[in-house]
Amino acid sequence: MSFSVEYINDELYMEKVAVRDITDSVGTPCYIYSYSSIENNFNSYSDSLSELNPLICYSTKANSNIAVLKIYSKLGAGFDIVSGGELKRVLLAGGDTSKVVFSGVGKTEAEIEEAIKAEILFFNIESIDELHAINRVAISLNKIAPIAIRVNPDIDPKTHPYISTGFKKSKFGIEIGNSINVYREASNMQGINIIAIDAHIGSQIFELSSFNDSLQKLTHMADTLIKENINIQYIDIGGGLGITYRKDETPPSMEEYAGIIKNHLMNKPYRPVIEPGRSLIGNAGIMVTKVLYTKEGSEKNFIIIDAAMNDLIRPAFYNSHHEIIPVMQNEKATNTVDIVGPICESGDFLATDREFPPVANGEYLAVLSAGAYGFVMSSNYNTRPRAAEVLVHGDSINIIKEREYFEDLIRGEKIPDFLSE
């Protein structure tokens, strides 16, 4: 899961394309994704776990561009979705709905109906109220809804609290101590077909002991349910394998990760479902931005760029680290700087107290590890149009999302007649 760019003769390239050629074509800020990195990362999962015939459901929320979803569809992936909008995107991308898993704590009845009609693989049930709602909608459609209970195993994934989802205090899932009773209740519902068990303990996980503990609990529960004639066919282990954001980070290898899954499931009748997102596309993408100004202060030095927290919110939201490098390699002595955007918020930064070589106005910088939770979390704050998205395939540059313009932002806004008098 390495970075998708490299310097060739001191110039940054993605696959066979110079990044400067892309910025000359589409401007900045822009997101750029590597097809070969996306493909290689997916194949790493499928090859490592081939003995278990895994269903790899790409976590659509990580990057939901329809072209990106089309890549995964062509690779044979399923999809983990959390909204009706994401289901529509999967359909537009030609995704196989029989490989779709619908997660999320707040599914509306309209979304449930759409998913049942689309014949998804199963719903991950997050509450008893939701279970009753799905049963009610299924009966009204004269259908049977396939489901899993999302079990909250009360495991500490040792990651950022905002992306930890397996604690008792989390809004996600049903506490493991109560899950058996919920399965029993579901087994007597007319519109429900139980086929799976699910857990998702969090994201950006580096300690595989958390996965091991979760899988141990899931397989024990599945074995218990089978003895009660509840037909568990799938164990959905969630996603969460970490990626490298800092150069000195070393996430677990795919072989280590796959080894834990095999240890628990190799001789079991359950097909594993995996929901990776970040580890499939995070390091397959970058965001490129232009230096507008540099500024020296009495206590801080700043590089002011044309990208902002509305384009990449992770540093402001999670205090997340992204490596940032010049598009033209620069090995000059570094200074301590903050790399900031033009938004009127003190939290509008992409890096603080970062050692960085001197750069001039008009130079380009590449923000690494931006393929996941980048564009998809962007906004129009400060009436800023959202960035373009580009897919590189070999030596070809493919615009997969046009840059927004002011007219796009105000579409649908109206001034009431009484204000026009």
Confidence at residue 164, expressed as pLDDT on a 0 to 100 scale: 41
Beta-carbon contacts of 403 under 8 Å, excluding residues fewer than 6 positions away, are: 26, 27, 30, 385, 386, 387, 388
Please check whether residues 154 and 254 belong to one and the same domain.
Answer: yes
Q: Name the stretches of the chain with pLDDT < 70.
A: 1-2, 156-172, 202-203, 240
Whether 55 is covered by a domain: the verdict is no
344 is catalytic: yes
- Asked if residues 257 and 48 have their Cβ atoms less than 8 Å apart, the reply is yes
Please check whether residues 132 and 180 belong to one and the same domain.
Answer: yes
Whether 75 is covered by a domain: the verdict is no
Please check whether residues 338 and 318 belong to one and the same domain.
Answer: yes
Domain boundary among 211, 244, 274: 274
Please check whether residues 248 and 355 belong to one and the same domain.
Answer: no
Confidence at residue 241, expressed as pLDDT on a 0 to 100 scale: 80
Nearest C-alpha neighbor of 234 from the set 269, 262, 283 = 269
Please check whether residues 177 and 206 belong to one and the same domain.
Answer: yes
Whether 296 is covered by a domain: the verdict is yes
Residue 76 neighbours by CB distance under 10 Å? 12
Whether pTM > 0.75 for this model: the answer is yes
Helix segments in 188-239, DSSP class H: 208-227
Whether 169 is covered by a domain: the verdict is yes
Q: The CATH number of the domain where 269 resides is what?
A: 3.20.20.10
Whether 203 is covered by a domain: the verdict is yes
* Phi and psi based region of residue 154 (left: phi greater than 0; alpha: psi -120 to 50; beta: remaining): left
Contacts of range 263-268, beta carbons closer than 8 Å, 24 or more positions apart: 263/212, 264/212, 264/215, 264/216, 264/219, 265/52, 265/215, 265/219, 265/235, 266/51, 266/52, 268/219, 268/222, 268/235
Please check whether residues 237 and 296 belong to one and the same domain.
Answer: no
Whether 38 is covered by a domain: the verdict is no
Whether 82 is covered by a domain: the verdict is no
Please check whether residues 261 and 288 belong to one and the same domain.
Answer: no
Domain boundary among 229, 247, 274: 274
Please check whether residues 364 and 388 belong to one and the same domain.
Answer: yes
Q: The CATH number of the domain where 396 resides is what?
A: 2.40.37.10
What's the CA gap between 359 and 162, in Å, rounded?
Answer: 34
Please check whether residues 259 and 114 belong to one and the same domain.
Answer: yes
Please check whether residues 267 and 312 belong to one and the same domain.
Answer: no
Cα Rg of the chain, angstroms: 23
Mean pLDDT of the chain: 92
Q: Which of 129, 190, 299, 344 is catalytic?
A: 344
* Residue 14, domain extent: 5-32+282-410
The domain tally of the chain equals 2
Whether 368 is covered by a domain: the verdict is yes
Which amino acid does the sequence have at 305?
I
What's the CA gap between 159 and 186, in Å, rounded?
Answer: 33
Please check whether residues 398 and 382 belong to one and the same domain.
Answer: yes
Report the DSSP pairing between strands 11-14 and 17-18.
antiparallel
54-112: per-residue pLDDT in tens?
Answer: 999 999 999 999 999 999 999 999 999 999 999 999 999 999 999 999 999 999 999 99
Domain boundary among 274, 302, 335: 274
Please check whether residues 160 and 299 belong to one and the same domain.
Answer: no
